[in-house]
Structures are given as structure tokens and as C-alpha cells.
Structure 1
Amino acid sequence: MKGNIFDIIVIGAGHAGVEAALSSARLGKKVGLFNIYEDKIAAMPCNPSIGGPAKGIVVREIDALGGEMGKAADKTALQIKLLNSSRGPGVWALRAQSDKIEYSKYMQKIVKLQANLELITKIVADFIIKDKQIIGVKTEDGEDFFAQAVILTTGTYLKSQILRGKENYQAGPNDEQTTSGISRALKKNGVELMRFKTGTPPRVKKSSIDLSKLMIEPGTDLPLSFSSSTKNYLKINDQEVCYLVHSTKETKKIIEENLQHSAMYSGEVRGAGPRYCPSFEDKIVRFADKDKHQIFLEPESKELDTFYVQGFSTSMPIEIQDKMLKSLPGFENVVVDKWAYAIEYDCLDPMQLNLSLELKQIKNLFTAGQINGTSGYEEAAGQGLIAGINAVRKINNEEPLILRRDEAYIGVMIDDLINKGTIEPYRLLTSRAERRMLLRNDNAEQRLKEYGYKVGLVSQKDWDSFLGNEKEKAIAVEELKTNRFGPKTDLAIELSRTNQAHLVNGLSGYEILKQPGVNIQTLVKYISELSKLSLNSLQSIVIECRFEGYVTKEKQTVERLKKLESKQIPLDINYDLVENLAIEAKQKLKKIRPLSIGQASRISGVNPADIQMLLFYLKKHYNK
């Protein structure tokens, strides 16, 4: 029995489970990580990539807090890009095309070498619960394992069904095993479940595609990385290329004539699908006026002769998929390695969670990833890291780590899920963050490194290195502000010759940098301290210089809103006694039980008049 006792049990070793298990173990707890397969750790059953709009910033946040995803993405990248660089810095983000085999191997090695962490290849079938508190789990082979906290990160493996045309059978991603025991255990203990659907496109043999008919999509020729610890950057000449192709009128015609055969349109699919990553047939229906759509070919691994056909997700029968693919330019002789499919799975209504990601109905049971209604590896990893930290803090009788919306995209995501819920797979977007100029790709460390250090996941060495970099940056900014350049200086002449700026009067380096056409790299040889900084620090200086007024205004707004966040709502409040609350507001407040007025104000269905009534009540009965 002794070997079956852990501090924390993590169920599922996907992207959420790995971060949850690693963070818990690194914080000194004995962790049992349960997974169906020993060799499928942080696997990529869908897109072989890490990052993207908003998601790339989440990976930087995970790294700042002491997580592993950024390091793994840098180490196993085939290509890396800075997205949206022609637009405002609030939407800049990194995206890496990953070697999915090497990524999983990297994480498997990290898990197996991690002290305090044991990987257990068994299927969990039930919970052991006493007085509405989880104390352990039961496996399918009848063995009991005990823990002070359990973190559930089951991804798309809960009672999952594969759908393709009229095919409909129980299986996990790529026809792997699935489990229904956990779904039963959750329902038995009063947890409300939902049914969601996602899908994946075909994988095709590279050697069967005529690449001369496709457009090359290269990476970015800059020293880019997700992790601040990465020093060896993927050079442009070492990067794999992706390809762009467009669907044709023939593709559209094939789909329109065969919609009734799609699992999605034939009634086979019952779960809600992702709005922002629809199946290809859904694109044809929703955008009926368009004759073509973008499709990207992305390499899956150096070990494989396969492309992931990004943007071509479908639940059509195999014979229709074959026609669809062969209608694409360069695909006339295509050979398919794996056919596309849709997958349905159970997940829970995230409004049943506390902001710590602990379930309200079952004490010490935390959930993270797609079980919470999200989509994407990055969203899962961010939740897994927070769940791991908070499970440890719960055991230690410490306050949970709760990131505000103005502090992190991770905070935006968790706040959205719990206060608004979701009726479809949730995808993190830059538009979801009302303070996105504060939540930038370049400043993740400035926002979150201290949290990682205080909770114990960022080492003293890394913290000291960060402080040293910040000091160097501050010195460089000071030099920019104090050094002045007249119209006849070498810098002014170079700026004029390259059409970056034309100086009429003497200006400081900082004032020159405010001009949108000026490249900070031009100033490096004139401002000696700039040469010591990383590309990320240089980008940060440019943004803070040019958007100084806007950023300052945003920070002032945040400070005002913090007063609402600091106004606590007692946990024992009886909302039935609050006069003049709307019925919907009362129902939502009872269900979510917000911790503060700020959180209450963001709940869907709670309007300003309800908040005012709540404030009156708190002042009268709690003197708040």
C-alpha cells in the first residue's frame, strides 16, 4: 500500500498533465502521473505546432512562471515565426512548427528524469471520495492509489467517439484507447458534463506532392525563442519550410454535392465544434460566396515523410476525402498516410470551478485542459501549470495563485471560463484581452517572473539573471534619453540615407526612437548599452518608447479597477437576502460564488444594477 500513496495524482500526460505533474514535483510533492501509454507524453494528435496569436504569448507566460513548454518548443522546432509583425505590438506572437516526435521524446525524458515524479501506465476508472473530498483513484485493474489532491487532465480521451462519414466508434485520438469510467465518476458526484467535438485533417506523403505548384512559406530570420533560457537560436538556413495552397472551385463542388455524407451534416456529430477552427465543409457552408480557401502544408517531423494539411479538417468519408485532396493543385497523385476524422468527447462546464481550477463539488480535485472546455496545447499547458501550483498550495494551506486579466493571457482564459462559461471549444484570442497592450509577447517575464520565483518554480540563478537583464535594459534606456544627436552627426546622416528619419533639430536617442520609421538596430552602434541586450529586450524598449502614453494610461485604468478586485465578497453570503437582484444574476452568483466585486461584475448575466445592489448589501451587513 505504501507505494500507492502520493501527495498529488495527475491523470493524463498530455500538455496540461505534463505541466501539472512537473510543477507539483518541482515544488517538492510526490507525484503519480497516470497515462494510458508510456511513450505518448505531450503528444500532438492534431497540429504539429506550438504558439500562434495569443497562444504564443501563453507559452512565454508558462516559461516566465517556470513551466517547460517553451523550452521544449525551442529545442524541437523545425521552423519559427514572429506573427503579425506588420501590425501593432499588442498582437505580436511567436509560432513554432514542431517536430512532433522529438517534442514528445523531449517531454518523456524530462518526466522520467524529474525527481519526485513517477509515471504509471494504468487507466483510472473511478474516484475514491470521502465527505465530498477526493482522497484517491481506482484503476481499471482494481488497484487503489491515494493522494491529498488529484488533477484531472484527460484531454479528448473522455468517452470519446471517432466520426468519419457514417463511421462512428468509440476510440481516442488516432484510434487510441479511451475511457468512460471518469465520466461516470464525475456525474455520480454531481458534476455537469458537456459534449464537445473537434477534428483533424489528413496527413499526406510529402513525396507524393508536386511542390512546384505550391507557394513556399519560410520562417523568420531573427533570433527568436519562447524561453528566456534559450541561447542557441534556430537559424533561418536550418529551418524547414511550409507551403501554401488554395482550394479550388472543384473542391467546393465536391463538398457541396456530398454534404449529406459528412458526419457533421448527416447528424452523426452531436457535440459543439470549435468556431475558430471549423471543418472544411463548414467553411464551404458558412462562406458560400468564396470559391477558394487557404490550406497550409506543415512538416510533422524530420523522421516522417508527411505533411499536416492545415485548414483541411473534415469528417467526410474516405472516398470523398480522396476526391477533395486530389482537387488541390499539386495533389493529383497524393498518397494519404492518415485520413481525417472528427472526435467527440466529454468535458465539464467550467463554471463549476473555482479560479484556482479546483472543482466546487469535490474538494481537492483540480481540472485542466480540454476537460475544462478549451482547445489547443497552449491553453491546456497554461491551465496545467496553474492547477499544479494551486494543488501544491492547497496541500500547504497557502493562498492559490490567481492571475488577473491585466497580468496574463492565462488569467484572461481562466477568468473567461469560470465567469462566462463556454458552449463550444474555447480558443484564446487577442481580442479576448481588454488590456492586450499590457499582455505583450515581449514583456511576459516582467509580468510573471516574480510570481514564478515566489511560488518556487523559478530558481535563484534564473531570478538573478532576470534582474541583471532588467538592470542592463534600464541603463540602456537611460543612455538613450541622455545621449543627443544633431542633424550633422553620423547617426543623423545614416538615418537620412536609409530614409528612416530626417533630423532637423538635435534629439535624444529616445526621442529619435519614437519615430515609427526608425529601426533600433541602427542605434545599437551609437548607444553602446543597447549592444548588450537580446532582441526581445530591444523590442520591449521600442514598444515602451513609442506607446509610452498609451501604456501609462492602460496601467492607470488597471489601478482603478484593482479597487473592485480588492473588494471581497464573503463566501458565506446568502444571495437570496440581497434585495432587488435580478433572477438571472442571483442564479449566476449562487453558481459561481465570486470572490470579489470585480469578478462578480464580469459574470455573464450580472449587470451594473445588480452590482450596485450587492455593494449596498455588503456595506449594510458586512461593513464593506
Structure 2
Amino acid sequence: MLKEIKKVDIVVIGAGHAGVEAALASARMGCKTILLNLYKDRIAAMPCNPSIGGPAKGVVVREIDAIGGEMGKAADATSLQMKLLNSSRGPGVWALRAQSDKVKYSKYMQNKVENQENLELVVGIAKDLILKDSKIVGVLLMDGRVIECNSAVLTTGTYLSSILHRGSETEKSGPDGEITTNYLSDTLRKKGIKLLRFKTGTPPRVRADSIDFSKATMEPGTDANLAFSFSTKTYTPVKNQIPCHLIYTTKETKSIIEDNLKKSAMYGGTIDGIGPRYCPSFEDKVVRFSSKEQHQIFLEPESLSMDTIYVQGFSTSMPIDIQDKMLRSLPGFENVIVDKWAYAIEYDCIDPTQLKLSLELKGIDNLFLAGQINGTSGYEEAAGQGLIAGINAVRKIQNKEPFIPKRSESYIGLMIDDLVNKGVVEPYRLLTSRSEYRLTLRNDNAEFRLKKYGRDIGLIKDQEWNEFLKFEKEINEGIELLKSIRFTPKMEIAVELNNLGQSNITQGISAYQLLKQPTVDSKIVFKYIPQLNNLSHNQLQYIVINIRFEGYIKKELETIQRFEKSESKIIPADIVYNDVENLATEARQLFEKIRPTSVGQASRITGINPADIQMLLFYLRKKYAQKTTI
């Protein structure tokens, strides 16, 4: 018997990092939204590593903020430590990373959800999706309640039919022993949706007061004014940040793994799911890199309110007695006390080639999917998808075109493009190496790439937009000033740079041209231009990068223009691929499965070769000459 029927515009199922972004975006765009979660207080939880950001991922968080999401603000407000990774390398791989207070982060997001207009948090388990004519119209809960909706976003993370593994012991459970559900997996299968079985894992958590940190190397944060969000104006000095520590595994650690490998769920045949290549279990590292005698382990604090350390890099599915031996073989861990043992977790996800680029499921209208259910890993990847799914769920019921960020203008767009066109054979993780345009998709320029979209969508409000316009105007004026200022060989700056061996100025040179020289310390140049004192560190950094890499950036932008030309070659929705002459059978099947919307997208489908694209172009020019830009 039905207990209650609620009617809303959008239901978001799951309040992890994807679900929170989807629900907040939907509500902020004016739609009455319900966020359905298994618990009231497990909002944007961190069941794995207590951090936000890292290579590529940090840029994603900046992109989320630029479009109008919440993750960047939450990470800034609850960080224990901030660092800029890869700063000794080129700006295309710079990455901001925050060591997060996992308790404060979740409470921050819970507060945002509970105080957001148009948004209601409902505790319950989704049992079934209610469809009418292959369109979602509601969600049935386990207790009989029904939520009617116009669109829904499914963000179930690792909670679908999940099983925890420690050696031969298994437990039907979600992360950290929480609730799991088989119902939605069954529902999706019945609707003809192809599911995959993936695996991930997490390391032990140990008591900080049981570790001898004198045997570890301290890894402090930085005093630089670093933040994910454009709105952040205050920064924590490094003396008030909480350090991490670095240790290395020992020969004994390796021997314990080698002697007990078959006891691992990973190698003992217990686990069927496919694990993440770029975040393997420790036993997998020992097997795959057998010549290495030691591996890095980072000791990361989880929260100011918890005396626990996350043993980063020590994920395992070994039984508890072997885990205990492994831990005690580490430097400083001789008397370690374990707060939570490591485990591996298997779960269901979908084959993401069944999605549209809007993240709407092809088989069910108005149902959008985001996060680990799409075969990805990581909080940041999930949040980026959640934001896009939430936006497009709203735009679908408003009869507006979906917002589809391009792979040439964001890592979020690149990720979605990869998922839909290439699919996944293991949990997908964003890497800078996945991008063809790393110098354009930088950590420092997310606002310039994406903020206009957030403004048009309605997630960037007047104050932030006006602040950004001022920020941009000051940068442009600064660049023009640098072009106008000239230095001569007898000026004080020329003498200083020559004495330092950074530059030998023999004739008049503009400040702009001087900054192009990679040996010149930009801080010295700016010291002699007091007119730039009002600019922030971020503004000056942006100016220097764009001046020094001007030629490379110009070439990359030309490549992007060619890419976008192929993206503008639209494939009509009514195309019949069986009618395309001389098309390989495999290509015909792949095109029919993916249903690409442009020639550019068609060319990126795994298994498609140039000859297939040529046949497609011939057909489009002949059949749709009046309808397309082919």
C-alpha cells in the first residue's frame, strides 16, 4: 500500500559527490528537487581518501566552481592543507590538491543541502523506477512511498549490489559497512541496460597516536594563496595547516605479500570485478612491479575531530591477520593501533556508451546518470558529472538544448566524451595525459573557459559575475601596460638581472618581451612596475603563463579550431546507418549503438577508423546536402 505520494520536478537518487552537485544545481536553477539518500547525515561522504584535487582532478574542481558548483567552495572551507602539485613542471600539468577534513566537508555539504531553497532531503531506499512510454515519471521507495517527477538523476556510487571483501570473507554491504541495494540493478537490467561489475578498495585507517612519526618525512602544505574557488578570499597560513608524512614500505612488507598472495581476495579468486589501473591494491603493486623493493606510502590526517590516519597507497583485500603483519612492517608502525581495516568492494555500474553526451540514458527518457554508476572513479569525476547531469535534467524539462561542455574546453567535457564514445573496461580516472589540449585546459584559466556558461545557465549570480569581469579587465589592462613599458640597458632592473645571470639587456626591451624569457624571475620584473601592485597572485600568474607560452597556446588554439570544425559537422538524428554504402559492419554497429551527433564525435568512437569516417562523410554530403554543414 502506498503511504505517500510527493510531486517534484526532479529526483536525485544518492547524496554522494555527484548527487549533491546535481541536486544543488537543479534547485538553484528553480526546480523543485528531492535528494533521496540512504542516510540523513552521510552527505558527500569520503569513504576513501580524505582529499580533493590532484592531477587533472584539481582542474575539474576549478571547472565545477567556474560553472557554478559547490565542490571547490567546500574544499577550500574545510581543507587541512593546500598544495600545488607538479609546480616544477609546465603549467599544463599543475594541479591543486587539498587535504580535507572529511567530517567538516560532509557537514558543510549537508548544511548547503538543508538550507537550499527548492531542495528537500528525503531518507529512503529507491526500489524501482516508474516509467511511462520509456520515460521516467517517478521513483518507488522500499517503504511504499512514491515520488513523482519529470526528470531523475541516478547517482548511486558504489552502492549497487555491492560486496565487501577481506580475504575469503565477504559481506553484502556498501562502503564502510553501509546499506547496499540490489533493486535498482535489477530494474536497470529489466529495462535492457547493460551492467558491468567493477571493484575498488580502500586502505586501513590507523590511530595517529600509535605511529612514530620520527621515522617519517614531513610533507607540509604551502603559504601560497591557493584556492579552488574564485569566491575564496581567505587562506590558511602554512603554520596552521596540518602536515602529511611520507614513508616507504620495507623488504619485509614485500615478503609478507609474496608469502600470502593467495589469501588476497584479489588473487584468491573471490573477486570478479575489474579494479582501477591507476589506484591498484598494494598486492597488485607488488605483483606488477616485482623488481621494486619499496613503495611510497603517504600518511594523511582524516579530520581534526578524529585521531586517524589514512594510509594512502596501502589499499588491500588481504584478510585482517595479514593486514596486521603488513602494517607492522612499516617504519614507525611497530605499535600501530588500527581503527578500520582495509577492504575491497565490488559493485554494479553501467556501460557508459549507453549514455548521451548530456548524460541522459538513451533507453529511458529524462533519466540522467552521474558518478561511479557510469564507470568512473574519484570524488571529482563524480561531482563534475553530477553538475552536468543536474543542469541537463533541468534543461530537458524546460525544453532547452542540453549543456554539453566540449573536450577541447574542459576536463569535464573530455571525461564525458571519453565515457560515451570509448566506454570503459576498468574504473575510469581522469589524467592530464588524456587531454590533447593540456596547455589550454589549465588550473589557472577555468573561469575564462567556463564561467560564461555558468552565467548563461543561471548558476553564476550577479556579484560573482561582476567580480570576474573586473578580474578579467584588470588582467587585460596589465598585459597592455607590460607592452607599453620599456627597459633600457642602463636601468636598475637591467643591472640586477644581468648580475643574477637571468638576462643580458643590450637594447631597449618591453616588459612584455622581457617576461617571455624563461630565465627571468617574473617577481623581479613586477617589482619595477608598481602599477601592477593591485593585481593578485593569480592574476599575475595568469599573465606570465600567457606571455611565456604565447606561441604554444596559439598553436593549440589553432588545433582546437580544426577540432571544432569537425564537431560542427552535424549528423542528423534520423540517419539510417544501414543505408551508408561501403561502411564496415563493425562501424555500422558502433554508430548505431553510440548514435554520434557529429562527425567529430563519430571519429572518436573506439573501433572506428578513417575509412569509416570517409564513407560516412560521402553519404552525408549526398543524402543531407541541404540539411548539414558537411
CA distance in 2, matches of 1:227, 1:534: 14
Among 513, 522, 525, the residue aligned to 1:523: 525
Q: Which residue of 2 aligns with 1:543?
A: 545
SS in 2 for 1:199: strand
1:462 CA displacement? 1.1
CA distance in 2, matches of 1:499, 1:135: 70
Among 478, 481, 484, the residue aligned to 1:479: 481
1:547 CA displacement? 0.8
Asked if 1:132 corresponds to 2:154, the answer is no
Among 426, 431, 434, the residue aligned to 1:432: 434
**Paired AA for residue 130 in structure 2:** I
**Paired AA for residue 330 in structure 1:** G
Q: Which residue of 1 aligns with 2:204?
A: 202
Asked if 1:388 corresponds to 2:390, the answer is yes
Q: Which residue of 2 aligns with 1:291?
A: 293
Q: Which residue of 1 aligns with 2:584?
A: 582
Deviations along 1:313-342, one digit per CA (max 9) or x if unpaired, are 000000000000100111110110000000
- Give TM-score scaled by structure 2 length: 0.98
Q: Which residue of 1 aligns with 2:245?
A: 243
Counterparts of residues 439-478 of structure 1 (less than 5 Å): 439-478=441-480
Residue ranges of structure 1 left out of the alignment (5+ in a row): none
Among 216, 219, 236, the residue aligned to 2:218: 216
Counterparts of residues 312-327 of structure 1 (less than 5 Å): 312-327=314-329
1:495 CA displacement? 2.5
Counterparts of residues 293-372 of structure 1 (less than 5 Å): 293-372=295-374
**Paired AA for residue 68 in structure 1:** E
SS in 1 for 2:43: coil
**Paired AA for residue 145 in structure 1:** I
Residue ranges of structure 2 left out of the alignment (5+ in a row): none
Counterparts of residues 262-277 of structure 1 (less than 5 Å): 262-277=264-279
Q: Which residue of 2 aligns with 1:495?
A: 497
Q: Which residue of 2 aligns with 1:26?
A: 28
Q: Which residue of 1 aligns with 2:65?
A: 63
Paired residues of 1:355 and 1:402 also in contact (CA < 8 A): yes
Among 502, 507, 514, the residue aligned to 1:505: 507
Deviations along 1:40-89, one digit per CA (max 9) or x if unpaired, are 10000000000000000000000000000000000000000001011111
Q: Which residue of 2 aligns with 1:173?
A: 175
- In structure 2, relative to structure 1, the CA distance for the partners of 1:2 and 1:324 (3 Å cut) is closer
CA distance in 2, matches of 1:24, 1:530: 40
Paired residues of 1:52 and 1:95 also in contact (CA < 8 A): yes
Deviations along 1:409-456, one digit per CA (max 9) or x if unpaired, are 000000000000001000000000001111000100000000000010
Q: Which residue of 1 aligns with 2:50?
A: 48
CA distance in 2, matches of 1:473, 1:385: 29
Between 1:126-135 and 1:560-569, the stretch displaced more is: 560-569
Among 188, 191, 194, the residue aligned to 1:192: 194
1:225 CA displacement? 0.3
CA distance in 1, matches of 2:566, 2:287: 44
CA distance in 1, matches of 2:267, 2:388: 38
1:527 CA displacement? 2.0
Paired residues of 1:224 and 1:234 also in contact (CA < 8 A): no
Counterparts of residues 84-123 of structure 1 (less than 5 Å): 84-123=86-125
1:496 CA displacement? 3.3
1:2 CA displacement? 8.7
Between 1:146-155 and 1:552-561, the stretch displaced more is: 552-561
Between 1:531-540 and 1:363-372, the stretch displaced more is: 531-540
CA distance in 1, matches of 2:532, 2:441: 24
Among 560, 566, 571, the residue aligned to 2:562: 560
**Paired AA for residue 144 in structure 2:** G
Paired residues of 1:80 and 1:97 also in contact (CA < 8 A): yes
Structure 1 stretches (4+) deviating beyond 3 angstroms?
Answer: 496-500
CA distance in 1, matches of 2:340, 2:85: 29
CA distance in 2, matches of 1:102, 1:60: 20
1:497 CA displacement? 4.0
- In structure 2, relative to structure 1, the CA distance for the partners of 1:497 and 1:233 (3 Å cut) is farther
Paired residues of 1:472 and 1:529 also in contact (CA < 8 A): no
SS in 2 for 1:38: coil
Between 1:518-527 and 1:211-220, the stretch displaced more is: 518-527
Among 75, 81, 98, the residue aligned to 2:83: 81
1:608 CA displacement? 0.7
CA distance in 1, matches of 2:558, 2:349: 38
Paired residues of 2:81 and 2:242 also in contact (CA < 8 A): yes
SS in 2 for 1:151: strand
Paired residues of 1:479 and 1:527 also in contact (CA < 8 A): no
SS in 1 for 2:481: helix
Q: Which residue of 1 aligns with 2:184?
A: 182
1:529 CA displacement? 3.7
CA distance in 2, matches of 1:416, 1:289: 33
1:490 CA displacement? 2.1
CA distance in 1, matches of 2:500, 2:39: 58
Paired residues of 2:5 and 2:145 also in contact (CA < 8 A): no
Paired residues of 1:475 and 1:529 also in contact (CA < 8 A): no
**Paired AA for residue 357 in structure 1:** L
CA distance in 1, matches of 2:426, 2:193: 18
CA distance in 1, matches of 2:158, 2:9: 26
1:494 CA displacement? 3.0
Q: Which residue of 2 aligns with 1:6?
A: 8
SS in 2 for 1:308: strand
**Paired AA for residue 20 in structure 2:** V
CA distance in 2, matches of 1:136, 1:376: 29
1:242 CA displacement? 0.4
Deviations along 1:249-294, one digit per CA (max 9) or x if unpaired, are 1000000000010000000110000000000000000000000000
Counterparts of residues 583-622 of structure 1 (less than 5 Å): 583-622=585-624
CA distance in 1, matches of 2:592, 2:211: 57
Aligned alpha-carbon RMSD (Å): 1.0
Paired residues of 2:298 and 2:312 also in contact (CA < 8 A): yes
Among 230, 249, 255, the residue aligned to 2:232: 230
Paired residues of 1:6 and 1:31 also in contact (CA < 8 A): yes
Q: Which residue of 2 aligns with 1:416?
A: 418
**Paired AA for residue 593 in structure 1:** R
SS in 2 for 1:542: helix
**Paired AA for residue 278 in structure 2:** Y
CA distance in 2, matches of 1:487, 1:210: 57
SS in 2 for 1:4: strand
**Paired AA for residue 424 in structure 2:** T
CA distance in 1, matches of 2:33, 2:176: 28
SS in 2 for 1:392: helix
**Paired AA for residue 186 in structure 1:** L
1:117 CA displacement? 0.1
1:515 CA displacement? 1.3
The number of residue pairs the alignment matches comes to 624
CA distance in 2, matches of 1:522, 1:12: 51
Paired residues of 2:5 and 2:146 also in contact (CA < 8 A): no
CA distance in 2, matches of 1:475, 1:419: 42
Deviations along 1:465-487, one digit per CA (max 9) or x if unpaired, are 11111110011111111101112
**Paired AA for residue 136 in structure 2:** I
CA distance in 2, matches of 1:305, 1:494: 50
CA distance in 1, matches of 2:86, 2:608: 35
CA distance in 1, matches of 2:210, 2:482: 55
Between 1:407-416 and 1:464-473, the stretch displaced more is: 464-473
**Paired AA for residue 384 in structure 1:** G
Paired residues of 1:578 and 1:617 also in contact (CA < 8 A): yes
